[in-house]
Structure 1
């Protein structure tokens, strides 16, 4: 059974953080394909040899593919409250509204507490939890006024087992903060046609981060389009709110079969992917293994060596 018809988002306006590449770019393209104007909010303004894509290249790509859609590039460092506030102000000044916020940008840090310096803790919490909170707060002002809004944070379900925090305490504090922001938007937007949901992949998604951090074998990854399709569906789903969703389980709830999900999104459709990030019935994930260390690409070799010895 295919997905429900994708919603018509003509003249809606979406802000997607971290949209200069990867998952954010994929989400922006998917929303634009439904007629939604998009704001590409990210830091990258100049191409880098190892990090292709800028806010300007993504905007050009979108407007060339979808002539009736406008794409606005906005420079945003989520660590700056002023930059976040100005990004929303610029969006409203340019489009007159903001309807959708996708809190996508975030920083990765899978390390034990004793290996987490305060500067790194401040960085990931500043980008992930604090940045998502400020962006959501500013967008909610306009969503409440217009009586319509969708907030999606790329954040995980809140861990049910304390063992999940091993090797990821600071990371979960920041990423679960992103999830809580979406749940807060759901609670405070109730009655105003505003939904809020956290969205999390069941396994590793193909991206530069996955490649650069060597997060397993490519044939166990899925395409970023699985998250993008979920976001599009959530924009038309007024009944799903206040939930922490796993991408393939949400699509299955909408009617896709496991075969359809595998053939549509798995990089290797002949293989079942390991549910590396999705919690099982006991609340644990294989991704909760504290032996898996990541955080600084420059120190990846050391992380791999340490992980191999544990």
Structure 2
């Protein structure tokens, strides 16, 4: 997994650990950040407390050597790679006139390039797996002017993650690789939501990250073996027979996530 030291990525890793998974997470958070909880090392401790095994690789998904080191670590520690989760993502909702080229590049490199780079590096290992899968935290491609006009550069970076993943599904179908995207129907109560989208009030209208964790496990273990699709978390859960979403919180005034138009 790219990222995974906190938030949605960590929730996915913990849910997978409860199902018996091992994990290698590639993230930059070697030291605590006063604005954000968690490091790769605290994440490993939480994953192992949940019943899994985990190894942290401190590195940057933008750097080819770091990405290859993460894949090699997975092969060395666990004998290969069965699943790639493209989770790392940069969020910047600045409009075109206000967004600097440097910030633009950062977003494209982490989001779209990171998805390409991690998946590409892991492909030799995936080809050797009995059931290779790629799951990307990418949204449905919604070309409504409302979304395109709000933050075109962010939309491009996230849609790039989705298009790459759907492309992997088609390109490597004959090699047995299945690739899908997963996206939250509502906002999720993470540090990013609290810091960028409205603090406590935004968090109150959001579901907990655990919904993505359970949805990811449901998608990865779906007996219908989907590929080349974009699933909202609620749809992945529904396919697994889970319709009671009350454990994930959010109350009755939930806020739809970006690129999602209706409940």
The normalised TM-score by structure 1 is 0.78
- Deviation of 1:103 after TM superposition, in Å, equals 0.8
1:233 to 195, 218, 222: 218
Residue 294 of structure 1: aligned partner? none
- Deviation of 1:193 after TM superposition, in Å, equals 3.5
Do structure 1's residue 275 and structure 2's residue 253 form an aligned pair?
A: no
Q: Is the CA contact (8 Å cut-off) linking 1:148 and 1:192 kept in structure 2? A: no
Do structure 1's residue 124 and structure 2's residue 107 form an aligned pair?
A: yes
Residue 220 of structure 1: aligned partner? 205
SS of equivalent residue, structure 1 residue 166? helix
C-alpha distance in 1, partners of 2:73/2:48? Answer: 19
Where do residues 1-310 of structure 1 align in structure 2 (5 Å cutoff)? Answer: 16-66=1-51, 69-215=52-198, 216-237=201-222, 238-257=224-243, 260-261=244-245, 263-268=246-251, 271-277=252-258, 279-280=260-261
- Deviation of 1:181 after TM superposition, in Å, equals 2.2
- Deviation of 1:265 after TM superposition, in Å, equals 1.4
211-220 vs 154-163, greater mean Cα deviation: 211-220
Aligned residues: 260
Distance 1:56 1:274, change over 3 A: closer
Q: Quote the RMSD (CA, aligned, Å).
A: 1.9
C-alpha distance in 1, partners of 2:233/2:42? Answer: 27
SS of equivalent residue, structure 2 residue 181? strand
Gaps of 5+ in 1: 1-15, 286-310
Larger Rg: 1
C-alpha distance in 1, partners of 2:185/2:78? Answer: 35
Gaps of 5+ in 2: none
